[in-house]
Structure 1
Amino acid sequence: MHQKAAEAGAVFGEGCGWERANWYAPEGVAREYRYSFGRQNWFEHSAAEHRAIRENIGVIDTSSFGKMLVQGRDAARVLQRVSANNVDTDPDRIVYTQWLNPFGGIEADVTVTRLSEAKFLVLSGPATFNRDLAYLRRQIGDDEFCTVADVSGTMAMLAVMGPESRRLLQPLTDCDLSAEAFPFGRSAEIDLGFGFVRATHVTYVGELGWELLVPTEISHHIWDTLFDAGAPLGLRPVGYHAMNSLRLEKGFRSWGHDISSRDNPLEAGLGFAVKWDKPGGFIGRDALAAAKEAGTERRLVQFLLEDPEPILLHDEPIFRDGQRVGRVASAQYGHTLGGSVALGWVWADGPEERAWFEKGLYEIEIAGRRVPARASLRPMYDPKSERPKS
């Protein structure tokens, strides 16, 4: 996809060896970074990409995400043991899950799609893919029939996101993409253009949309098909800066930034993805159950600065009622929420109820100045997650 992104005006950045479009420069705008501690030269262009997905439609080239094919007679058993969520679903369903270590910490943050009875596709972030691949292979017993293959290079991936995404995609395929026929969490191979892609109704930006896994040999054709049909609709290419601002408004986590192997799902606000009573349990269940019984004294909290001007980066100190209680993990400007938005870890002196972490006077220190901030354990944007399911 590099050539297509470059032709569309991409200003590239690097992530784990991948050259990726961070933002797209309109015609006549220099394709360069002019660095600043304030609003940089790409700010307004990334804002336009952000708003395109919130209000209309955009396409993000997410080909750098890792893909592993897990298959064999015991593939379901291995993945069930490793995953905190229940991945033993019907075929053509996607499940968001964490893989835990024996101490209950998050070793990986992935999605698992069941392709058939004995075949699964696991998607992982580019920064963690090799780590996740090695971790999963270590969990396979000598007597288990299960193989794990890196198939990242066989497929490009395009995330078609926004409230108008169905309007774009439906005329291009014979598959019924209605909410009733293709609900959130479904994955299926569909025709598109002159080929077939795997479309999954899921989101990392908090809007209606489909992730398209595209065979490498037709990736340029699928890009052209989307943008030719999308031109009258105002379709825009969208970079990773905007993807980051979109996911932070929705409170979506990123392993290595917001969560790690020292953090458990209860502290990270991911308890909804833990299926405690699934048959066979999962690695780390006992430690996680003990942590639940002991209570939580640290949590990952979403913040929004009340002053719309300052820019948060990451690692800024967090104060509650004048006392330093934590740090910002990741941040970006939230163009829909109207201020810098962040995920940050907050520590209490001992186990506290959920409400404690949202109460109090919060401030985040930026270059020596403390700026008031609003705290929430629920996503500030679309807290009921209704938009992706529309």
Structure 2
Amino acid sequence: MNGPLEDRTTETLGLLFDMHWPSRQFETARGIRRSPFHDRLKAAGAFMTEAAGWERPGFFGAPGCAPSVSYSYGRPSWFDATGAECRNTARNVTLFDHSCFIKFLCEGPDAVTVLNRVCANNIDVAVGRVVYTQWLNEMGGIVADVTVTRLSETAFMVVTIALSQRRDMAWLRRHIPEGARLSVQDVTSGLPMLALMGPKARALLSRVSPADLSDAAFPFGTSQEIDLGYARVRASRLTYVGELGWEIYMPTEFAAHVFEVLADAGRDLGLGMGGFFAINSLRMEKGYRHWGHDIGEEDTPLQAGLGFAVAFDKPGGFIGREALLRQRAAGVQDRRMVQLSLEVDGIPPHLYHNEPILRDGVIVGSVTTGAFGHRIGKSLGMGYVSCPGGVTADWLGAGTWEVEIAWRRYPVRVQFGPWYDPKGEPLR
């Protein structure tokens, strides 16, 4: 029997001479890693996509039917379905399967010291706080983009993306000093996760949990263990889509029960299922970065607009601090990430990756990722632009901006902040 790598290699070699369609899904080595919700999601009409071996919904068609897809450099066949999922997330409430997100449990008397050295942000916070942070190399480049939840005085949960599972674990273990009292375990398989997102998320969760979910008792950026149905789960008030919501972590044996309880309680609230194509659209409107596309080892938090997640003055410092201090001391950055919005009449073309960004007819950068923003009705992208004198708001505002797509140039608006809800009011 062939191994998955052998089967996948045969397919990828053949695809070198085929059309490289955006979002094209592999056909070999599929069905390897499935969340506990897989069969229920398929029954609800999920078209499954794959990442790091994980099967996860791309979008949802009609319940009980296997959606067919046709790829395109324009509007793909799932455009309308994804749009409906995005709009439902903004108006009602949507359930996303995030089980493929990787979870590391870090425990021991030295956990806070070791993690605070690895993390650019300060994770020595009160129990129940969730910290967004990056892990940096000595040059200040971003090697990981994670959240760290403080579970107790000596225990933390690190959450990262599926594609970084082995890489991030190796980085963390490599930076644990010899003799440090710290154990690190990958608990992903035993801790599936659902994300409940939308303005009606609190109303739905209140129906199935006695916990106080008010802003005062459960503010944004905090995590608690709560009862949900007959299960005990960890709920973290976070979002990757820019709406009010909670990430819900549960032991695997309670996963089906939690899913069914939420699905039953949300029927009259407009609860819908959402896939990762919708997530990409929603996070693009909010300007949320994705490691491996928008940020990586050659990008620093200051260039990526993530300086708010750097605690320069915390005790003990952090890996990459000296490089960031030198960069900060230089003043305005000559390379920075910006948000793009295509300003064209009719159906706009799509941005995907590496399209040139031009200011006054001169290429000054390129797109890192793109998607159509269904909440605001615009084709969006983000990318880095450079200017020897510094990338400032005045410099952005003084130029005429275009992006080149398939040898044609289109006008774009450019800014630092997100296009949707720049103040972050609904999620808070």
TM-score range, shorter chain: over 0.9
Q: Which amino acid aligns with 1:38?
A: G
* Distance 1:358-1:135 versus aligned 2 partners, 3 A rule: farther
Q: Which amino acid aligns with 2:268?
A: P
Residue 124 of structure 2, aligned match among 88, 107, 111: 88
* Paired residues for 1:181-330 under 5 Å: 181-295=217-331, 296-307=333-344, 308-330=347-369
Deviations 1:158-205 (A, max 9, x none): 000001100110121111001111000110110001111100001111
Paired with 2:371 and 2:400, the residues of 1 have a C-alpha distance of 22
Deviations 1:268-288 (A, max 9, x none): 000001111111111111110
Deviation at 1:358, TM superposition (A): 4.8
2:144 aligned with 1:105, yes or no?
no
Paired with 2:325 and 2:376, the residues of 1 have a C-alpha distance of 36
Paired with 1:355 and 1:134, the residues of 2 have a C-alpha distance of 42
Paired with 1:354 and 1:262, the residues of 2 have a C-alpha distance of 23
Are the aligned partners of 1:301 and 1:357 in contact in 2 as well (CA < 8 Å)? no
* Distance 1:77-1:28 versus aligned 2 partners, 3 A rule: closer
Matched length: 389
Paired with 1:180 and 1:25, the residues of 2 have a C-alpha distance of 38
Specify the alignment match of 1:10 in structure 2.
Answer: 46
Are the aligned partners of 1:258 and 1:330 in contact in 2 as well (CA < 8 Å)? yes
Deviation at 1:369, TM superposition (A): 1.1
Are the aligned partners of 1:299 and 1:357 in contact in 2 as well (CA < 8 Å)? no
Deviations 1:283-338 (A, max 9, x none): 11111010111231111111111125211121111111110111110111001121
Residue 395 of structure 2, aligned match among 338, 342, 356: 356
* Distance 1:197-1:355 versus aligned 2 partners, 3 A rule: farther
TM-score (norm 2): 0.89
Q: Structure 1: where are the runs of 5+ without partners?
A: none
Q: Which amino acid aligns with 2:421?
A: D
* Distance 1:219-1:30 versus aligned 2 partners, 3 A rule: closer
Are the aligned partners of 1:364 and 1:372 in contact in 2 as well (CA < 8 Å)? yes
2:107 aligned with 1:68, yes or no?
no
Specify the alignment match of 1:151 in structure 2.
Answer: 187
Deviation at 1:380, TM superposition (A): 1.3
Paired with 1:361 and 1:219, the residues of 2 have a C-alpha distance of 52
Paired with 1:203 and 1:252, the residues of 2 have a C-alpha distance of 10
Paired with 1:221 and 1:180, the residues of 2 have a C-alpha distance of 29
* Distance 1:358-1:155 versus aligned 2 partners, 3 A rule: farther
Paired with 1:29 and 1:312, the residues of 2 have a C-alpha distance of 30
2:375 aligned with 1:336, yes or no?
yes
The two structures, once aligned, show a CA RMSD in angstroms of 1.2
Are the aligned partners of 2:46 and 2:66 in contact in 1 as well (CA < 8 Å)? no
Are the aligned partners of 1:304 and 1:375 in contact in 2 as well (CA < 8 Å)? yes
Paired with 1:98 and 1:175, the residues of 2 have a C-alpha distance of 31
Paired with 2:397 and 2:189, the residues of 1 have a C-alpha distance of 43
Deviation at 1:351, TM superposition (A): 3.1
Q: Which amino acid aligns with 2:370?
A: A
Deviations 1:12-55 (A, max 9, x none): 11101101100001248651221111111100000000111111
Are the aligned partners of 1:54 and 1:207 in contact in 2 as well (CA < 8 Å)? yes
Q: Structure 2: where are the runs of 5+ without partners?
A: 1-36
4+ runs deviating over 4 angstroms = 27-30
Paired with 1:12 and 1:30, the residues of 2 have a C-alpha distance of 10
TM-score (norm 1): 0.98
Deviations 1:80-116 (A, max 9, x none): 1111111001111100001111111111100000000
Residue 82 of structure 2, aligned match among 23, 27, 46: 46
* Distance 1:297-1:194 versus aligned 2 partners, 3 A rule: same
Deviation at 1:244, TM superposition (A): 0.4
Are the aligned partners of 2:45 and 2:64 in contact in 1 as well (CA < 8 Å)? no
The farther-off stretch of 138-147 and 238-247 is 138-147
Q: Which amino acid aligns with 1:240?
A: F
Specify the alignment match of 1:369 in structure 2.
Answer: 408
Paired with 2:297 and 2:313, the residues of 1 have a C-alpha distance of 23
Specify the alignment match of 1:114 in structure 2.
Answer: 150
- The percent of aligned pairs where both chains have the same amino acid is 50
Tell which has more relative contact order, 1 or 2 (C-alpha 8 A, sep 6+). Answer: 1
* Distance 1:297-1:337 versus aligned 2 partners, 3 A rule: same
Paired with 1:57 and 1:260, the residues of 2 have a C-alpha distance of 32
